[in-house]
A and B are shown apart, each in its own frame.
Chain A
Amino acid sequence: AQTVTQSQPEMSVQEAETVTLSCTYDTSESDYYLFWYKQPPSRQMILVIRQEAYKQQNATENRFSVNFQKAAKSFSLKISDSQLGDAAMYFCAYNRGKLIFGQGTELSVKP
């Protein structure tokens, strides 16, 4: 069965600095999607970034980028120039017909 693991329950970053959140997953499939979702205190689940497994190029969305290592089954999220509004719970997720979430990483941003 597919699993998603986020090994960092909590992370902290200084405002304007860069932080990387880790995610690993387990699958025997070759075609799938990977996502990072952000959940701020409002509890809204917000899509941050999407990666298609058959694309080697790492996805980017403004200050957010991923390091997708398919062979290693690793999918980390890098947040550059961190802002106070980036403080939230971040979930890594795998999708191949069923969306499977990691347990989340709570990110705090220090002013």
Chain B
Amino acid sequence: DAGITQSPRHKVTETGTPVTLRCHQTENHRYMYWYRQDPGHGLRLIHYSYGVKDTDKGEVSDGYSVSRSKTEDFLLTLESATSSQTSVYFCAISAFTSGFTDTQYFGPGTRLTVL
């Protein structure tokens, strides 16, 4: 199994509070991703990183920011949580081979509830 951990695994918070989710990898992979999974929408990409301090937006980036100060850590921040951000959040990692990214391996997920 790929060495990916997410913390916290569960969190309940209130509307308007800041929340930070952490993804940690031990594989030294270049690429890291944050997805959210909601019923009827499958997995949707929020942000991704292609190196330390190199990040870019995905398809549902509004209301989220990310940071990557070390290869092994990728943080997802909800500056002011809203109920629409209640979801399950997955981190993923991948290597870069043959001109584009290879297999993505996923962390265990974080269930976030915003009341």
Contact = CB atoms under 8 A, between A and B. Distances in A.
A46 B103 CA distance: 11
Interface in A40-62: 42-47, 50
Contact of B109 (A31, A44, A101): A44
Interface in A61-111: 91, 95-99, 101-104
B92 to A, nearest CB: 8
Contacts of A101: 42-43
A33 B109 contact: no
B84 to A, nearest CB: 20
Q: Chain A interface residue count: which class?
A: 20 to 34
B54 interface: no
A97 B100 contact: yes
Contacts of A47: 103, 105
B108 interface: yes
Nearest to B111: A43
Nearest to B44: A101
A97 B42 contact: no
B106 A45 contact: yes
Contacts of A91: 42-43
Interface string A14-47: 0000000000000000010101010000111111
Nearest to B100: A97
A102 B43 CA distance: 9
Nearest to A35: B103
9 contacts: A37-B106, A43-B108, A44-B106, A44-B109, A45-B109, A95-B101, A96-B100, A102-B42, A104-B42
Given A99-B101, A102-B42, 15 more contacts: A37-B106, A43-B37, A43-B111, A45-B92, A45-B106, A46-B106, A47-B103, A95-B100, A95-B102, A97-B101, A98-B45, A99-B33, A99-B104, A101-B42, A101-B43
Interface of B: 33, 37, 42-43, 45, 88, 90, 92, 98-106, 108-109, 111
